[in-house]
């Protein structure tokens, strides 16, 4: 094995597409399994302060690069600072 990258196969949370990713660099969304949404995101697509309970039960789901760029555009169109926690790129 000379490959440096560890590749995993997962299903994109957003579009359900199966894709290969490097677990060290892939974008993960924290998803509240109870709502299927990002903690703090309402079913209407708005954002509010996430509850501690929602943050505690949130699980990381991989997002494919297509959806990452779509989500970024969406978030930039909205108020990017409205309770949105930073993209977890530097946490690993």
Q: Could you say whether residue 15 binds Zn ion (CB under 5 A)?
A: yes
**Least distance in angstroms from the C-beta of 66 to Zn ion:** 5
Q: Could you say whether residue 20 binds Zn ion (CB under 5 A)?
A: no
Provide the 3-class DSSP secondary structure of residue 65.
helix
Q: What count of Cα atoms within 13 Å lies in the side-chain half-sphere of residue 81?
A: 0
Based on CB atoms, which residue is closest to Zn ion, 45 or 52?
A: 45
Q: Segment 62-81, which members bind Zn ion (CB under 5 A)? A: 64, 67
Could you please report the per-residue DSSP string of 70-83?
A: HHHHHHHHS-TTSS
| Number of residues located near Zn ion, criterion CB under 5 A | 5
């Amino acid at each position: 094995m000379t490959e440096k990258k560890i590749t995993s196969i997962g299903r994109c949370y957003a579009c359900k597409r199966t894709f290969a990713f490097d677990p060290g660099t892939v974008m993960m969304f924290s998803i509240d399994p109870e709502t299927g949404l990002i903690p703090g995101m309402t079913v209407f697509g708005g954002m509010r302060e996430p509850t501690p309970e929602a943050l505690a039960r949130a699980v990381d789901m991989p997002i494919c690069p297509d959806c990452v760029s779509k989500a970024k555009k969406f978030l930039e169109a909205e108020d990017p600072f409205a309770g949105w926690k930073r993209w977890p790129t530097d946490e690993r």
